[in-house]
Structures are given as structure tokens and as C-alpha cells.
Structure 1
Amino acid sequence: MTRGLGGHSPANVTHHLKGIHFPAKKQDLIRQAKKNGAEQDIMQVLDGMEEREFDSIAEVMKAVGEVERGMDR
């Protein structure tokens, strides 16, 4: 299983975004994750994404991967 976010799987990210409706802005994602009890490390990754509108969970996960790669540097 692919792991990131300090050992959290991508499925954990999608779990914390349960109930989100697309298209969704970055702040909508952050609000939903907080509502669903996301841990601080997930919140930091979401906060690190660029300010834009996402059309799908696939776009969100791509952005999460980009943030994670930036954190590894």
C-alpha cells in the first residue's frame, strides 16, 4: 500500500474528505477534513495545496502528492 502523510495512506485522506461535493475549493476541503476529524498532518498537507478549485478526488490526491514531494525536500 502506498503511504504518505507521515504514514497515513491516501485512503485516510479520502476518508477525511467524505461528504465533500465537487467542484470544491481548497478551503472547502480543509473545512470538510476538519469536520471529519482529520489529524494535524493531514490538515497541514491540505493547507499546503495551491489555492484553486478541484473537480474530483483524483485532482485532490494529485495535489496531495505534490505537497508531499515538496515536504520530502
Structure 2
Amino acid sequence: MAELNPIELQKALKGADYPASRDDLVELARNNGADSSLVQKLTQSGSERFDGPNEVQKAVFDNE
């Protein structure tokens, strides 16, 4: 994936139950076949816990 996009993030986090920890979302993204760059961005996001997908998106894309 050349550039991260919200659709890929949504696919990676399909089936997530919120609130969720960053570690749980990283594991889910890996299990859903997410690109390694997306997993890395999620891993490096500033939050330990997310209340919903909008928070995840903001954390991942605000760090680009």
C-alpha cells in the first residue's frame, strides 16, 4: 500500500469491538491481513485505548 487510506483502515479493523486496546486492534488488523505499514501506524498511534473507529482513524492519520 503506497498511501494509507481510511477504507483500508476500516477493512483492517472489521469486527472490532469498542472500546478496544491498541494491542487488540493491532492483532485484529494483522489477522484481517492488513498491510504492514498500516499495522505499524496503528502500533505507533499515541493512544492505548480507543472508544470507536473515529478515534482510531484520527490517531492513525493525524500521525502521518
Residue 20 (structure 1) aligned to one of 13, 16, 19: 16
| Identity among equivalent pairs (%) | 34
Once the two structures are superposed, the pairs formed by residues 1-73 of structure 1 within 5 Å of their partners are 6-68=2-64
TM-score norm. by structure 2 comes to 0.89
Structure 1 unpaired stretches of 5+: 69-73
Q: Name which structure has the greater RCO, CA cutoff 8 Å, separation 6+.
A: 2
Larger Rg: 1 or 2? 1
Matched pairs, number: 64
TM-score norm. by structure 1 comes to 0.79
How big is the alpha-carbon RMSD for the aligned residues of Structure 1 and Structure 2? 1.4
Structure 2 unpaired stretches of 5+: none
